[in-house]
Amino acid sequence: MTAQLMDKSVHSELRVPHSAIALRGVTKEFGTGDTKTVALADINIDLPYGELVLLVGPSGCGKTTLISVVAGLLDATRGEVEVLGENLTRMGNGRKVRFRGDNIGFVFQQYNLLPALTAAENACVPLLIAGWDRKKAVAKAKELLAAVGLKDRLNSYPNQLSGGQQQRVAIARALVHEPRLLVCDEPTAALDAHSGRTVMDLIRKVAVQPDRAVVVVTHDSRVYDFGDRIVSMADGRVESVQRTEDRAQETEGRVPH
Amino acid sequence: MNWVALKMLMGDKAKYLGIVFGVSFAALLMAQQSAIFCGLMRNTTSQIRDIQGADLWVMDRNVQFVDDTKPLSENALYRVRGVEGVQWAVRLYKGLARARLDDGNFQQVILIGVDDATLTGAPAVEQGKLLHGKLEDLRRPDAVIMDEFGWRYLYGAEPFAPGKTIEMNDKRAVVVGLAKCNPTFQTFPILYCTYTQAVKYVPQERKTLTFVLAKAADGVTPEQLCERIEQQTGDLRALTDEQFFWTTIGYYLKRTGIPINFGITVALGFFVGCAIAGQTFYLFTIENLKQFGSLKAMGVSNPRLVRMIMLQALVVGTIGYGLGVGGAALFGYVFERVVTNAPPAFHFPWQVLALTAGAVCVIITASAAVSLRRVLFLEPAVVFR
Amino acid sequence: MLTRYLLPVLAVVAFSFAMIQMTKAQQQPPPVNPPVDPGKSPFGKQVAGAGIVEPETENISVGTHVPGVVRAVHVRVNDRVTPGAPLFELDDRQMAAELAVRQSMRDSAAAQLAKLEAMPRREELPPLEAKVEEAKANVEDKVRLFERAKREIDTGVGSGETFDTRRMGVDVAKAQLRRVEAELDLTRAGAWKFDTAVARATLTQAQAQVDQTKTELERLRVAAPRIRKPGADRSREPIPSSDLLELRVLQVNVRPGEYVGATPGQAIIVLGTVGRLHVRVDIDENDIARFKPGVGGTATPRGEPGTRLPLSFVRVEPYVIPKKSLTGGNTERVDTRVLQVIYAIDVPNPTLYVGQQLDVSLDAGG
């Protein structure tokens, strides 16, 4: 299947639409008049489920803006944004917050763990946001922490963990509520090469699921080979979308259709 | 999520203690100063509270507060008795007299002359206000009962013994008893004696009757009776204990600088508390801004964030308030026991607690509001920068 | 641990302490009753006033007409005296001496009058009658001598001179007779009536002076006044003894040897009736409008709030007087006036004393 060929008649009723993310003519401008800067200029892109998409490009090229728009944190100035079959452009603010909480997992460059909570408690926060009972949420979080290999650091506080460990906790947190879209912002930037690779490896192994889209923003070329698809950006435009064939095959094998 | 909020709050011990300290300091200062103010104001009415047994006070129409004595004609007593609904009415003398002590010194004293027949207004035996002697002793010639603070003031640590003589208006007075009186504003010793005795202890005056104490008959409220008395007599003013209490306090509030001074101190406490607590809370929020941002990105709605921050504020407010008012109460407790030779001015009514609670509410709401402003206007996209 | 549990616990403890202190401060002391119950007003609407106990007759302050030194006091406090009974006497020696002088003067005047009334003296008449006889005889003698001379002249014997002399002698003798006869008549007539009248008047005056001195003496002895019983017929005069009041000596302010003056209002001896007591109630002028003459009332002695003596209306003193201070304290100037109302105490033998103060409540209706 090819994401580029996805037609626009995607309906939200479809359980698994062909395209997880579909942007049409998305433009984002900051400021007005003389100070107006164009962060995104007429972006048209379709990204499929079940792939790890790397969003690369130099600093200031608009990748953070693009990911913010995709995650529903920023509104596009013009254009249509469709994520997981929902049109975010026409979505109200309150619904958008709920949509984020229910469907999107976040991994941040600085991990953004709550220093007052243990690893397990941190990992269960999205479930708490969703209204889960605390005990159940912690139990679920522990499962995920085990999956990211932190079974023996469940009750450690973030300041007792290394950067890589913290980022793994963050990944567990991002996935605990089983989101259909995982957004990672420079997950390896604050880590050494080894930890970066471990984290990326983890994202590939744990996060990439057939019905989940994963978008990783990075300018760390060392991790390019983890992506199924690499979207290069420059000056607010998408320069190229490349498929890494060897990865694609592996992915192809796992996707049922 | 409330649990997360609390964890966040208590995770940063230094800031948490800082906020609690700020709030409790403000609460302590406000509660303690208000209590001293209340005590001082209440002391102005000590005689109104000491002279019990009647429902209302009848006085000249122009009396503004309890120490503002404007003597009445003796007939006022009978005119009051003639008002419908008066169960009984008795005379009372209250004034200042100049006493000459054994050692030749002069001392102003508060002289209270109670009705000879009934002794209405004498120290309340039922409440254990008479520490030594018997009320009946007042009927003995030249007998007076002194108050405890007065005794300490005049005779120091000397234990009480009846028989001390003092001289007022060239007449002899013998201290036969010791009474416990509410602390007074003027701090002068208080002397109780019979009305006829009291009249002899002051220089000759044209009229001597200061107050008429009256009791309302069954089925008539004191307030109604006051109105009736004022209506029927025309030139007299009748107030219930409560009304007289507030009239007196009202006078001191209006005519002295006391409320302004204390008001300034209380306001100072309020602002200092606001500054410390607000500042620390704000810093705490700023420090956690990134955390709040990620929570916001992860789908925590604004109302929920408001609830979380308000909960944090409420917790520090409650703890700080509890510690503060407890400290103020402790101050009063110790103060009343350590200072024995002067009437203490400390009163701790529920209004002080309520006022402090209100002020603390304002402090924490203001602190939280400043913080909330930052959090609410925080773009969640900031987490990616 | 510290922050999570200790601080909240500490706060709770501190707050509880504050609450306890607050509750303590808030505590209302138990209500207090006057050491001696002042009693209740007996009427819904009432007029109240101070009253003073007096006898039914009011207080009779017996005084003296004349100043002087007391010689004897005949009564003691609490004696019952009948009207007219002597109370005390002043020194009367001067008056007694004066009485003696006056009496002798009266006696002298009486004697003078008796003397005049006894005239003429019988012994004085015979000499005068003899003198008349003598003069008559003389006239006869002279007439004969003249007739002889006349015959002599007619006969021309005699001289003219002898004739004239004999005629003159007759005239003289006749005049002498007339004089002697007049003297006899004068003596016979006795004392002149005007002289008698003067002497009689002198006697009356002397008698009056004696009576006056006796009265003065009487006035030195002060007796109990004669007073009608209340309700007795006022027109009967003199007062029949059955209508007279027996009085009791309430106060004796004099002892023998003391000097008493005749100052008005001075109570040397105070008398009053033995029977019913009255109470004189002062009603403030502001309350007069609310007082209706004739209403009932009760009185309570000072210091005895339980006792309530029924009162019945007697009368209103129609003159509103300046209030007298009853407190016995400072001599206060007066700025109010009071209406005085008299009530009778309707109890046979109340344990009350004249002059005692009462708190009086009068029913004002309602």
Residue-wise pLDDT for C28-70, tens only, equals 778 888 888 777 777 778 888 888 898 888 888 888 888 889 9
Q: Report the alpha-carbon distance of residue C295 to residue C45 in Å, rounded.
A: 12
Helical segments of chain A, H only: 63-70, 93-103, 119-123, 125-129, 134-147, 163-175, 193-202, 245-254
The SS3 of residue C75 is: coil
Give CA separation, B25 vs B271, B368, B370, in Å.
Answer: 11, 18, 20
Other beta carbons within 10 angstroms of residue C268's beta carbon come to 21
- Closest Cβ opposite residue B298 in set A74, A129, A217: A129
**Residue A161: per-residue pLDDT:** 92
The string of pLDDT tens digits covering residues B103-114 is 888 999 999 999
Side-by-side strand order, sheet with A19-30: A37-48, A19-30, A78-83, A86-87
CA atoms of B58 and B86, how far apart (whole Å): 12
The total of other beta-carbon atoms located within 10 Å of residue B241's CB is: 18
CA–CA min distance B294, chain A (Å): 7
pLDDT (tens digit, 9 = 90+) per residue, C80-92?
898 888 999 999 8
Closest CA to C86 of C68, C54, C57, C62: C62
Residue, of C262 and B316, whose pLDDT is higher: B316
Give the mean model confidence (pLDDT) for residues B216-237: 90
Q: Chain A within 8 Å of B290 (Cβ-Cβ)?
A: yes
Neighbours of chain C (3+ CB pairs under 8 A): B
> Residue A216 in 3-state DSSP?
strand
3-state secondary structure of C128: helix
Cβ within 8 Å, pair A108-B3: no
Closest chain B residue to C33, measured at CA: B53
Question: Is residue B60 within 8 Å of residue B70, measured between CB atoms?
Answer: yes
Chains that touch B (3 or more CB pairs under 8 A): A, C
CA distance B290 to chain A (A): 7
pLDDT digits (tens, 9 = 90+) for C199-250: 999 999 999 999 999 999 988 998 888 888 877 778 887 888 888 888 889 8
Residues B326, C3: C-beta atoms closer than 8 Å:
no
Locate C258 and state its tokens.
Answer: 């003391």
Torsion angle of alpha carbons C134, C138, C144, C150, nearest 10°?
-160
Question: Does A touch C (3+ CB pairs < 8 Å)?
Answer: no
ipTM over 0.85: no
Distance in Å, alpha carbon of C323 to nearest chain B alpha carbon: 9
- Which residues in chain C (81-110) have CB-CB distances under 8 A to chain B? none
CB B174 within 8 A of CB B163: yes
Domains of chain C plus CATH, in order, are 46-56+275-363 (2.40.30.170), 62-90+223-269 (2.40.50), 120-190 (1.10.287)
Element at A214 (helix H, strand E): strand A213-217
List of residues 6+ apart from C6 with CB closer than 8 A = none
CB contact under 8 A, A101 and B300: yes
pLDDT in tens, C139-181: 999 999 999 888 888 888 878 888 888 889 999 999 999 999 9
Q: Report yes or no: B383 at the A interface, CB cutoff 8 Å.
A: yes
Contacting B residues, span 103-162, partner chain C, CB-CB under 8 Å: 115-122, 124-127, 135
Before C240, cis peptide (omega within 30)? no
Report residue C110's pLDDT band, with 50, 70 and 90 as the boundaries. very high
Smallest Cβ–Cβ distance between A116 and the set B7, B290, B298 belongs to B7
| Cβ atoms within 10 Å of C76's Cβ, excluding its own | 8
Of C4, C21, C37, which has the smallest distance from its Cβ to B329's Cβ? C21
CB contact under 8 A, A74 and B300: no
Which residues on adjacent β-strands are paired with residue C61? C270
| Closest residue in chain C to residue B220, using alpha carbons only | C44
* Confidence band of C341 (pLDDT split at 50, 70, 90): very high
Distance CA A142, CA A176 (A): 9
pLDDT band at C330 (very low <50, low <70, confident <90, very high): very low
Contacts of C32 in chain B (CB under 8 A): 52-53, 124, 126-127
* Shortest alpha-carbon distance between residue C365 and chain B (Å): 10
| A51 vs A212: CA distance, rounded Å | 8
Interface test with B, best of C10, C28, C32, C283 (most B CBs within 10 A): C32
Tens digit of each residue's pLDDT (9 = 90 or more) over A104-129: 999 988 888 888 899 999 999 999 99
Checking phi first, is residue A50 left (phi over 0); if not, alpha (psi -120 to 50) or beta? left
Residue C321 contacts B, CB cutoff 8 Å: no
What is the per-residue DSSP string for C325-352? P-S-SS------EEEEEEEEE--SS-S-
- Please name every residue paired with B206 in a beta bridge, in sequence order, or none if there are none: none
Give pLDDT, residue B176.
Answer: 92
Chains A–B, number of C-beta pairs less than 8 Å apart: 82
* DSSP β-ladder status, A181-185 and A213-217: parallel
Residues 85-104 (B) with a CB less than 8 A from some CB of C: 86-90
Task: List beta partners, residue B190.
Answer: B110
Mutation for B interface: A74, A91, A97, A135, most B CBs within 10 A: A97
pLDDT in tens, B72-84: 888 888 889 888 8
Distance CA C3, CA B12 (A): 10
Closest in A112, A121, A129 to B1, CB measured: A129
Cα C190 from chain centroid?
49
Contact assignment for B120 to C35 by CB distance below 8 Å: yes
Bridge partners, residue B208, by sequence: none
Cβ count within 10 A of residue C281: 29
Contact in structure between C74 and C93 (CB atoms under 8 Å): no
pLDDT for A2 equals 40
Residue B131 main-chain phi, psi, to 5 deg:
-85, -35
Does residue B293 sit at the A interface (CB-CB below 8 Å)?
Answer: yes
CB contact under 8 A, A101 and B299: yes
Say yes or no for a CB contact (<8 Å) between A129 and B384. Answer: no
Q: Does B13 touch chain C (CB under 8 A)?
A: yes
Give the one of A100, A110, A117 whose C-beta lies nearest to B297's C-beta: A100
Positions of chain A with pLDDT under 70: 1-18, 245-257
Are the C-beta atoms of residues C69 and C220 closer than 8 Å to each other?
A: no
C-alpha distances in Å from residue A230, one per residue of A46, A238, A256: 12, 11, 22
Query: Is B12 an interface residue toward A (CB < 8 Å)?
Result: yes
- Other beta carbons within 10 angstroms of residue A155's beta carbon come to 11
B118: which chain C residues are within 8 Å (Cβ-Cβ)?
34-38, 305
Look up residue B13 and give its amino acid. Answer: K
Q: Tokens in use for B134?
A: 């018997």
- Backbone phi, then psi, for A218, in 5-degree steps? -155, 155
> Residue A249 has what pLDDT?
53
**Domains in chain A, ordered, with CATH?**
11-254 (3.40.50.300)
Cα–Cα distance between A192 and A184 in angstroms, integer?
17
Q: Where are the beta strands (DSSP E) in B104-170?
A: 106-114, 130-132, 143-147, 165-168
- Burial level of B297, CB count in 10 A (0-12/13-18/19+)? buried
DSSP class per residue in A39-55: EEEEEEEEEETT-EEEE
Nearest by CB to residue C12, choosing from B84, B124, B322, is B322
Nearest Cβ partner of B74 from C35, C305, C325?
A: C325
Q: What is the pLDDT of residues C290-307, one digit of tens each?
A: 888 888 888 988 777 778
User: Can you give the pLDDT at residue C334?
Assistant: 53
Q: Which chains touch A (3 or more CB pairs under 8 A)?
A: B
The 8-class DSSP code of residue B72 comes to B
Contact B82 C359 (CB under 8 A): no
CB within 8 Å: B120 and C46: no
* Range C173-209 burial, b when 16+ CB lie within 10 A, else e: bbebbeebbeebeebeeeeeeeebeebbebbeebbeb
The Cα C361–Cα C209 span in angstroms is 58
**Residue for token digits 């003397």?**
C115
Chain B residues touching residue C306 (CB < 8 angstroms): none
Pairwise CB contact (< 8 Å): B299 & A114: no
Whole-angstrom distance, CA of residue C69 vs CA of residue B103: 50
Residue with tokens 């009576």: C211
The C-alpha angle with vertex C23 and arms to C17 and C28, in degrees rounded to 5, equals: 155
Residue C228's beta-bridge partner residues?
Answer: C244
Q: Name the residue among C194, C252, C195 with its Cα closest to residue C72.
A: C252
The answer to whether residue B92 scores a pLDDT higher than 90 is yes
Instruction: Identify each DSSP E strand in C150-265 by its residue range.
Output: 221-223, 247-252, 259-260
Measured between alpha carbons, how far is B38 from C276 in angstroms, rounded to an integer?
60
* pLDDT surpassing 70 at residue C327: no
Supply the DSSP symbol for B136: G
